[in-house]
Copies of this chain bind each other. A is one copy, B any other.
Amino acid sequence: MLARDYETQVCSIARALEVIGERWSLLIVRSVMQGHRRFDALQADLGITRSVLTDRLRRLEGEGVLERRPYQTRPERFDYLLTEKGLALWPALNHLMQWGDRYYPEPDGPPVIVEHVGCGGGPDGHQLCDRCGAPLGPGVITTRSGRAAAASG
C-alpha cells in the first residue's frame, strides 16, 4: 500500500512524488539508469548507508519502478533493473538535469553529458536530438562524465 504523503492532493504530480520524492529515491533511479546495477556499486556511487539504500530499493521494487534479478545464488545476490515504469521516468530526470545544468552551472561545465548513440547529438528542450531530431530516451542514449565530474574524480 502506497503511503499517502500528500493525501489531500488530487494530483498526479503528488502521486509521483509519493513514489520517487523521498530523499535519495530519484538519485537511485538515476544511478541505475547510468548502469550501476548492484547493491555495492549503488552504495559506492551514492555514498549512502546500507540501511537507507536497502529501504529505498525495497520501496522502489514494491512500486514496480525497479525489479531484482538474481545473478548468484550462494549467497543470493541481485541485479537491480529498471522496469518500463522506471525507464519512463527518464524525461523527468533529464529535464531536472537540464534545469540544474542551466541554473546551477559547474565552473568546468556540465557534470554529465547525454549523447545520442551513433549520432553524437544531445537532447534539446523537448528530449529530441538536437542534431537529427530523433526522440531520445533510454536505449538510444549514452552518458559520459563532463569536465566537472572528471575534475573532481
Q: Which residues of A contact B (CB under 8 A)?
A: 2, 5-6, 8-17, 19, 21, 23-24, 26-27, 30, 46-47, 64, 85, 88-89, 91-93, 95-104, 106, 110-112, 125-128, 135, 148-149, 152
Contact = CB atoms under 8 A, between A and B. Distances in A.
Contacts of A85: 103
Contacts of A26: 13, 17, 21
11 contacts: A10-B106, A11-B30, A13-B93, A15-B100, A15-B104, A16-B99, A16-B104, A21-B21, A85-B103, A91-B126, A125-B135
Given A13-B26, A47-B8, A152-B10, A102 B127 contact: no
A17 B149 contact: no
A5 B23 contact: yes
A47 B14 CA distance: 13
A53 to B, nearest CB: 13
A16 B97 contact: yes
B88 A12 contact: no
B12 A100 contact: yes
Contacts of A103: 64, 85, 88
Given A16-B99, A126-B127, 5 more contacts: A5-B23, A6-B27, A17-B27, A19-B104, A126-B128
